[in-house]
Homo-oligomer: A and B are copies of this chain.
Amino acid sequence: MALPLCHRLPLPLLLLLAAGGLRAAERSGGSSSAMEELATEKEAEESHRQDSVSLLTFILLLTLTILTIWLFKHRRVRFLHETGLAMIYGLIVGVILRYGTPSTSGHDKPFSCSQEDRPFTTLLVNVSGKFFEYTLKGEISPGKIHNVEQNDMLRKVTFDPEVFFNILLPPIIFHAGYSLKKRHFFRNLGSILAYAFLGTAVSCFIIGNLMYGVVKLMKLVGQLSGKFYYTDCLLFGAIISATDPVTVLAIFNELHADVDLYALLFGESVLNDAVAIVLSSSIVAYQPTGENTHAFDAAAFFKSVGVFLGIFSGSFMMGAVTGVVTALVTKFTKLHCFPLLETALFFLMSWSTFLLAEACGFTGVVAVLFCGITQAHYTYNNLSVESRSRTKQLFEVLHFLAENFIFSYMGLALFTFQKHIFSPVFIIGAFVAIFLGRAAHIYPLSFLLNLGRRHKISWNFQHMMMFSGLRGAMAFALAIRDTATYSHQMMFSTTLLIVFFTVWIVGGGTTPMLSWLNIRVGVDPDQDPPPTNDSFQVLQADGPDSERRNRTKQESAWLFRLWYSFDHNYLKPILTHSGPPLTTTLPSWCGLVARCLTSPQVYDNQEQLREEDSDFILNDGDLTVTYGDTTITANGSSGPHTATTSLDGRRTKSSSEEALERDLGAADHEVTSRGTRLVFPLEDNA
Contacts and interface: CB of A to CB of B under 8 A. Distances in A.
Contacts of A69: 341
Interface in A1-37: 1-11, 14-22, 24-30, 32, 34, 36
A476 B125 CA distance: 32
A112 B115 CA distance: 10
B74 A337 contact: yes
B5 A19 contact: yes
A137 B329 CA distance: 42
A612 to B, nearest CB: 20
Interface in A250-291: 284, 287
B1 A18 contact: no
Contacts of A116: 127-128
A335 B67 CA distance: 8
A137 B134 contact: yes
A121 B142 CA distance: 19
A8 B28 contact: no
A680 interface: no
Contacts of A66: 335, 341, 344-345, 348
A67 B119 contact: no
Given A69-B341, A105-B1, A160-B18, A110 B122 contact: yes
A142 to B, nearest CB: 6
B334 A70 contact: yes
Contacts of A67: 329, 333, 335, 345
Nearest to A387: B393
Given A47-B4, A119-B132, A17 B160 contact: yes
Contacts of A106: 1
A74 B335 CA distance: 9
A125 B119 contact: yes
A400 interface: yes
A8 B25 contact: yes
What is the interface of chain A mostly: helix, strand, loop, or mixed?
helix
A481 B21 CA distance: 8
Interface string A57-97: 00110110011011101100000000000000000000000
Interface stretch (A178-186, A195-203, A352-360, A420-428): A352-360
A18 B134 contact: no
A555 interface: no
A352 B16 contact: no
Contacts of A117: 127-128
Interface residues on chain A, size class: 35 or more
A660 B39 CA distance: 55
Contacts of A47: 1-2, 4-5
Contacts of A309: none
A587 interface: no
A347 interface: yes
B28 A484 contact: yes
A329 B136 CA distance: 45
Given A14-B14, A359-B53, A124 B145 contact: yes
A481 B24 contact: yes
Contact of A1 (B10, B34, B152, B329): B152
A355 B6 contact: no
Interface in A103-154: 105-142, 145, 148, 152
A56 interface: yes
Given A49-B361, A397-B344, A132 B139 contact: yes
Contacts of A133: 110, 136-140, 148
A119 B127 contact: yes
Contact of A6 (B6, B112, B333): B6
A25 B122 contact: no
Contact of A70 (B34, B338, B390): B338
Contact of A30 (B55, B349, B396, B484): B484
Contacts of A49: 358-361
A532 interface: no
A381 interface: no
A11 B3 contact: no
Interface string A573-610: 00000000000000000000000000000000000000
A171 B550 CA distance: 59
Contact of A141 (B30, B70, B123, B401): B30
Contact of A59 (B25, B130, B351): B351
Contacts of A6: 6, 9, 14-15, 18, 135
Contact of A4 (B18, B26, B34, B161): B18
A510 interface: no
Contacts of A113: 113, 115, 123, 125-126
Contacts of A8: 21-22, 25
B110 A124 contact: yes
Given A69-B341, A338-B73, A484 B126 contact: no
A347 B337 CA distance: 27
A454 interface: no
Interface in A157-209: 160-163, 165-167
A193 to B, nearest CB: 29
Given A24-B162, A28-B488, A124 B108 contact: no
B131 A2 contact: no
A138 B3 CA distance: 14
A43 interface: yes
A45 interface: yes
17 contacts: A3-B148, A4-B9, A4-B18, A7-B19, A14-B18, A18-B160, A25-B482, A30-B484, A63-B352, A67-B335, A67-B345, A115-B125, A117-B128, A123-B125, A133-B140, A340-B397, A390-B397
Given A2-B44, A16-B166, 5 more contacts: A24-B481, A59-B348, A63-B348, A73-B341, A130-B142
- Which 4 pairs of residues, A with B, have the shortest CB-CB distance? A6-B6, A28-B484, A110-B124, A20-B162
